[in-house]
Chains A and B, each alone.
Chain A
Amino acid sequence: MITTGRTIENGDVVRHSVCIVGGGAAGITIARELSGRGRDICMLESGDLDFDVTDQDLYQAERLNPIFPDTTISRLRFFGGSTNHWEGACHPFSEADFEVRSWVPHSGWPFSLKDLDPYYERAHVYCELGEYNYDVGDWAARTSLPLIDFDENKAKSKIQHYSTPTQFGWVYREDLEQDPFTKVYLDSNVVSINVAETGERITSVTVQVLDGARFTIEADLFVLATGGIENARILLASDAVHKNGLGNTYDVVGRYFMEHPIVEGAELYLTGGFDPRFYEFFFYDDRSHLGYLSLSEEVAKKKQLNNIKVALMEQSRYYLSKGISSFNQITEDLKGGEIPDNLWTHAGNIFQEIDMVGEAVYRKLFKSRLLDYSDDMVGYVFDTMIEQTPDKDNRIGLTGERDPLGMQKASIEWSVSERDYENMWRCYEVLAEEVGRLGIGRLQLQRNNKRLLTSQLSFGHHHMGTTRAGTNPRDSVVDGNFKMHDIANLFVAGSSSFPTGGHVPPTLTIVATSIRLSDHLKTLMGGAV
């Protein structure tokens, strides 16, 4: 059933067998998996069934790097969580993502792709994705869409499937409403996880209703599933017994925070024949799919590169105009009181493409198009998701400022290392050699576009790594079962427990690891998995 924390009196203590904190993709998956086993489950959701700006504002955080996206926009705080606005793109992590890679500090998961593979298949059902099949050769054959004939030792075509996208709060709401063993409390914010005096077992969580009661939920097992920032924030704020925060003996909670920066870092211009249809959105079996480019695991290993995911975005003469880009760069630099670097090159670009610069001015002034040919498609932008190397200095912390619940707000320290950007340029070089070899075209790397890594940087809005899994408590927070080290009954679900973030969207892996965790919880609850 679905109820609200507003029905509970101040100071009440409520008991359940399992308490899941968070009603997003991970929390709902676990609740569904544990349902029907004769144990009463509760799920605590901060928000309501629909968006409410007051609840949403609880995501306010201090962003120490202003280019990091506003968390009150990137996340959603109501039932279903951020699946209420996700894009739906799904692809499992690759085998290498789980391995220790000598060139990626802090890499290596405590389990392998082979261990997770059966759960990916089950995750496909939750995400309404259809057949679990990422064999591009098979997809090319069944759709008759040609693949780029890459040297398999260098580059690969891959395919990602699109969920409808499944809004977990809507799709699984009726099931949870009808479930006699599961109770969803809306409007219920966990402000503290309470540990026994011995420090080894969680006894309860303290729940605060916004402008309402404060009550306690006791349980045997607890699962924290509130996202990559909030998971860390709640653990750090739970400092009654463990003064550095729960599970934070070695100062790991909140650290190694990762995003998926998205950079339009290269442009492909065609000089030969190329059938792009596999690399554009296509429909098959009533679902959307998209082919993309990646490095082969062989070349990534040989050249010691983090992999990338490149979607080809066909673009017009106007969009790709170097004249307009130079014009904007000069304008931005002058506004900032700087003389632009490479001024004469910029001037040359503007001169050569004065028609496009004129088009830009016309569009700004009159909100319409001047030159028909400005919208001719002439090339592709490499829309690139990069894997961020785990970095201890990227971290979620607490500020001194408190939110309306009385909790300290989160602070976010985040940046991308030079090494990670250099990695991206090197990946592009491999792809450039392949498109050149195949006579498809030539690639231009946009290294000189300073705005690319600042004002034009995009994000996957994927928050990962802050309660990373591992075998050593000195550099990880949870173990291979996502159980917190040294705490017997607290588990942390979702991408916060990913040791590395891969180069594809994480939702499918969040759901797969949540199912895996659920199977483990079932064994602890007794009975068959």
Chain B
Amino acid sequence: MMSLTRRVIAKVSGAAAFIFLVGQRRSAKALGSATYGFDHLFESHAAANALGAAYVKQYHTSSEELAIQLSDKLSTEHEAVVVRDGVIQSPMPLADLKSLFSSVVKRDFENGNTLNVDGWVLSKTECELCGLVFLSGH
């Protein structure tokens, strides 16, 4: 299994977390929102997966718990953001979603809402998203 080296972290949180959001899907028109798959959320799926695996191993969490935590957190920022079934649903354009994630990560650091994963001091939100990446592969 890939361990959490500098190369992994650089690919997950490089150039500020989440700016590598890709894989936008337009299939959820009924919800009036776009759906963003996080199976291709980061520059490197393998890197996000490695961080997620380390996080899940260390903090023993489940996919359902993570989805609820993330939905709650993002909904306080923007009411229409929902995380479920391995995707993120939001009416926001991709650029705004990126900006939202970046601001949540920044606020995590501001408020000491961080986790220590294999020695890395990381935003809880970036850990949770990577945790979902890992768990969605199972």
Which chain A residues border B114 with CB–CB below 8 Å?
429, 432-433, 436
Which residues of chain B in 1-58 are interfacial with respect to chain A, using CB atoms and an 8 Å cutoff? 1-3, 5-7, 9-10, 13-16
Least Cβ–Cβ distance between A269 and chain B, in angstroms: 5
Which chain A residues border B105 with CB–CB below 8 Å?
436
Least Cβ–Cβ distance between A448 and chain B, in angstroms: 6
Number of A-B contacts (CB under 8 A): 77
Least Cβ–Cβ distance between B37 and chain A, in angstroms: 23
Using known A-B contacts A432-B121, A445-B119, A445-B121, determine if residue A269 contacts B6 with beta carbons closer than 8 Å: yes
Q: Is the CB of B10 within 8 A of A322?
A: no
Q: Is the CB of A444 within 8 A of B120?
A: yes
Using known A-B contacts A437-B109, A444-B119, determine if residue A272 contacts B15 with beta carbons closer than 8 Å: yes
Q: Is the CB of B121 within 8 A of A353?
A: no
Least Cβ–Cβ distance between B106 and chain A, in angstroms: 6
Q: Is the CB of A442 within 8 A of B9?
A: yes
Q: What is the chain A residue whose CB lies nearest that of B7?
A: A352
Q: Is the CB of B121 within 8 A of A378?
A: no
Does A439 sit at the interface, judged by CB under 8 A? yes
Which chain B residues border A353 with CB–CB below 8 Å?
5
Q: Is the CB of A442 within 8 A of B119?
A: no
Least Cβ–Cβ distance between B74 and chain A, in angstroms: 19
Contact with A442, one of B1, B2, B106, B121 (Cβ below 8 angstroms): B121
A430 vs B3: C-alpha distance when bound (angstroms): 25
Size band of the interface chain B makes with A = 20 to 34
Does A443 sit at the interface, judged by CB under 8 A? yes
> Interface 1/0s, chain A 414-429, versus B by CB < 8 A?
0000000000000011
Which chain B residues border A349 with CB–CB below 8 Å?
3, 5
Least Cβ–Cβ distance between B123 and chain A, in angstroms: 6
User: Could you tell me the dominant secondary structure of chain B's interface residues?
Assistant: mixed
> Interface 1/0s, chain B 70-113, versus A by CB < 8 A?
00000000000000000000000000000000000110111010
A434 vs B108: C-alpha distance when bound (angstroms): 11
A128 vs B14: C-alpha distance when bound (angstroms): 44
Q: What is the chain A residue whose CB lies nearest that of B116?
A: A445
Which chain A residues border B1 with CB–CB below 8 Å?
348
A213 vs B44: C-alpha distance when bound (angstroms): 77
Least Cβ–Cβ distance between A21 and chain B, in angstroms: 48
Does B135 sit at the interface, judged by CB under 8 A? no
Least Cβ–Cβ distance between A487 and chain B, in angstroms: 51
Least Cβ–Cβ distance between B130 and chain A, in angstroms: 13
Which chain A residues border B9 with CB–CB below 8 Å?
269, 271, 442, 444
Q: What is the chain B residue whose CB lies nearest that of A430?
A: B112
Least Cβ–Cβ distance between A31 and chain B, in angstroms: 50
Q: Is the CB of A439 within 8 A of B3?
A: no
Q: Is the CB of A269 within 8 A of B121?
A: no
> Interface 1/0s, chain A 335-365, versus B by CB < 8 A?
0000000000100110011000000000000
Does A320 sit at the interface, judged by CB under 8 A? yes
Which chain B residues border A448 with CB–CB below 8 Å?
118-119
A361 vs B5: C-alpha distance when bound (angstroms): 20
Q: Is the CB of A443 within 8 A of B15?
A: no
Q: Is the CB of B120 within 8 A of A443?
A: yes
Does A446 sit at the interface, judged by CB under 8 A? yes
A437 vs B122: C-alpha distance when bound (angstroms): 10
Q: Is the CB of A436 within 8 A of B123?
A: yes
Contact with B120, one of A151, A434, A442 (Cβ below 8 angstroms): A442
Q: Is the CB of B13 within 8 A of A271?
A: yes
Q: Is the CB of A442 within 8 A of B122?
A: yes
Task: Show 25 A/B contacts (Cβ-Cβ < 8 Å), sorted by A.
Answer: A151-B110, A267-B6, A269-B6, A271-B9, A271-B13, A272-B16, A322-B6, A348-B1, A349-B5, A352-B3, A352-B5, A428-B121, A432-B114, A432-B121, A433-B110, A433-B121, A436-B114, A436-B123, A439-B106, A442-B122, A443-B121, A445-B116, A445-B119, A447-B119, A448-B119
Shortest beta-carbon contacts, A-B, top 9:
A432-B121, A437-B109, A436-B109, A348-B3, A445-B119, A444-B119, A433-B109, A271-B14, A444-B120
Interface set of A (CB-CB < 8 Å, partner B): 151, 267, 269, 271-272, 320, 322-323, 345, 348-349, 352-353, 378-379, 428-429, 432-434, 436-437, 439, 442-448
